A and B are shown apart, each in its own frame.
Chain A
Amino acid sequence: MSIAFSNVRRRGAEIPNKLEMTMMGRLARWETLLVCVVALVFFLNTIASPYFLDVWNLSDATYNFIEKAIIAFAVALVIISGEIDLSVAANIALSSTIMGAVATAGYDTPIIVGAGLLTSLACGAFNGFLVAKVGLHSIIVTIATMSLFRGISYIILGDTVYKNYPDSFAWFGQGYLFDAFTVEMAFFIVIAVFFWMLLHKTVFGRQVYVIGNNKTCAAFSGIKVQRVKFSLFLLSGLASGVAAVLLTSRLGSTRPSIALGWELEVVTMVVLGGVSILGGSGTILGVILASVLMGLVTFGLGLLNVPGIVMTIFTGCLLIAVIVLPRITKLIMSHSKKTK
């Protein structure tokens, strides 16, 4: 493990090592910055719209990001390991379609959910097989399966819609545990804690970092790289399945175009959360903060009557800006050092 540590340390402060941290280092952390931005956006929202500060309103606001955030956790792990999964949204479409078919066949909620999760697991396994076992590039594999999964959904549904979900199925996406605390929030918290434990407190999590930093080194340290990658794609498949259950239950209907373009928002969340797109660094806390931030921003814009497609402009700019800004600051810092 000592090899792994020295290797991990190379990439900078985002990795939760037990390194001594100075006060400045703590302040300069990406997560700290995110907290400040979240607070600022929250403040701006309360000024911009008088309807924002309402418990029920805020509870509604969480629907904006929870389903995407659940996928983002799994995709964060995939990206930290140096791969990418762009097929998550298509995975949602396919498992939602299967759930719709099962529901239309007259089965009850547990079987519907089981079928959805199994479908998404199978999709994840398919990606994992192609990337880890066959050894193909994850970008091209998941672009292809993105088209394949949603394509199957189009073959099954065409221009029709499934909406015969039983009443009990609505509990996942529309239910409340108590007061304004939704069932989705409970899912979010449980899954966030699960991924935090998995990435930061287990051997598996350390292995993901090592693989992302140096695949060859990981293999020589005795890590079964292929097996870890395969499980990561399984995980991101399963997370898409959970998101599919929540989303389908919330909407109460399935069309093949469900969750179209979510892969962009999920990747944006992950990168905004401080995960390096090149792999090897990033934290779950960052992804949580980034998802809350994006949820607040889109909800705030929604209250101001900004149409959805204009928000995608914002998402796109955010994605690029988040990666460009640190590089610009680094450039300026190094430049000022040189002039001194």
Chain B
Amino acid sequence: MLNSILKKREYLLAAIILTMIIAISFRSPSFLQLPNMLATLNDTSILMMLACAQMFVILTRCIDLSVGANIALTGMVVAMLNSASPELPVVVLVVIALGLGLILGAINGFFVWKFDIPPIVVTLGTMAIYRGLVFVLADGSWINAHQMSESFLGFPRANIFGVQLLTWCGLLVVAGMYALSRYSRLGRQFYAIGDNPNAAVYMGISVGKVKFKAFCLSGMIAGLCGYFWVSRYAVAYVDIAAGFELQTVAACVIGGVSIAGAIGNIGGAILGALFLGVVNNALPVIDISPFWQMSISGTVIILAVVFNAQSERKTGRTILKLKGTEA
């Protein structure tokens, strides 16, 4: 029964997104064409990846508010490395971005794990620290497109079967996350400790350590997105991706991920991200000032949370039913 409700919710969200796209295409028919749809998907890839990573963090009853600052810091480091030594291959830079992001995420996770500090406090703090470090590192200056190498800028734009590499990468990461959530031990542990930490401890799961891993994962994806962000928008400065952490949380909440932990799946998070992506891409098309975007996402989060609360109330307190063995 529970599964069917969750399923229904995703169908509902998909239907809303489709209706939106059709409604917008009445206003401007070009919106519905394939190139534009692919562009929208490409624009949303970064948000999709981060929303999935954020979902794992939220599943464990934590929250990661430092993703935006993490993107800015890794993006800046990668851009500076590239402008200093353009001969460094892009793959190395991607690995560096992943590694640095992982370290930044691990710092969050370490404080949550070892000192049991509420994650909102830790990530609120590191959010300020990481963004401040961007300023210190670059001395407040910008790194512009002409300082970046061709291959650095071209990598996410590489065309494979008519679709840009960034989109492929987004899909690949999302597929990996899906496998992680459904078929790996770690994925099930995320759900288990979010559902009932005490029971998880009795099962032999180290709650702190699993939270640590969730933060590492979120940090690593944020690092990857840091590179993509900088090379896609061809600029690195202190304020890039400011407030982006809220978008990732919003995508999760819209997708039915419960902020109280343990409820949610990758499909929901992706649909939530797509919803925001369509809204963001549609606003200029239908002549609404982009200044509306912030309050629209705020309103949508509230509506989604109210909706979530209602559907959660119906199903009672224990939410996730595992196939086979029950936690």
Contact = CB atoms under 8 A, between A and B. Distances in A.
Interface of A: 84, 130, 134-137, 139-141, 143-152, 154-155, 158, 261, 264, 267-268, 271, 277-278, 307, 309-313, 315-317, 319-320, 323-324, 327-328
B298 A148 contact: yes
Contacts of A315: 125, 128
Contacts of B291: 151, 154-155, 158
Interface of B: 63, 111, 115-118, 120-122, 124-129, 131-133, 135-136, 140, 238, 243, 246, 249-250, 253, 259-260, 289, 291-299, 301-302, 305-306, 309
30 contacts: A84-B120, A135-B309, A137-B259, A140-B249, A144-B298, A144-B302, A145-B298, A147-B294, A151-B293, A151-B294, A151-B295, A152-B295, A261-B128, A267-B124, A277-B117, A278-B118, A307-B135, A307-B140, A309-B140, A310-B132, A312-B129, A313-B129, A313-B133, A313-B136, A319-B121, A320-B121, A320-B125, A323-B115, A324-B117, A327-B116
Interface of A is mostly: helix
B249 A143 contact: yes
Contacts of A135: 309
Contact of B120 (A139, A151, A316): A139
B305 A136 contact: yes
Nearest to B116: A327
B295 A144 contact: no
A268 B128 CA distance: 11
B122 to A, nearest CB: 6
Contacts of A146: 246, 298
A228 B207 CA distance: 33
Nearest to B292: A155
B301 A309 contact: no
A332 B116 CA distance: 16
Contacts of B289: 155, 158
Given A139-B259, A147-B294, A309-B238, A134 B306 contact: yes
Report the 5 A-B pairs with minimum CB-CB distance, sorted nearest first: A151-B295, A148-B298, A151-B294, A313-B132, A147-B298
B115 A141 contact: no
B295 to A, nearest CB: 3
A149 B297 CA distance: 11
Contacts of A327: 115-117
Nearest to B300: A144
A316 B127 contact: yes
B132 A140 contact: no
Nearest to B65: A143
Contacts of B259: 137, 139-140
Contact of B126 (A136, A137, A151, A320): A320
Contacts of A271: 121
A167 B202 CA distance: 67
A150 B124 CA distance: 19
B309 A134 contact: yes
A139 B260 CA distance: 10
A159 B306 CA distance: 32
A144 B115 contact: no
A148 B243 CA distance: 13
B108 to A, nearest CB: 10
A287 to B, nearest CB: 16
A323 B132 contact: no
A140 B238 CA distance: 26
B192 to A, nearest CB: 21
A137 B131 contact: no
Contacts of B249: 140, 143
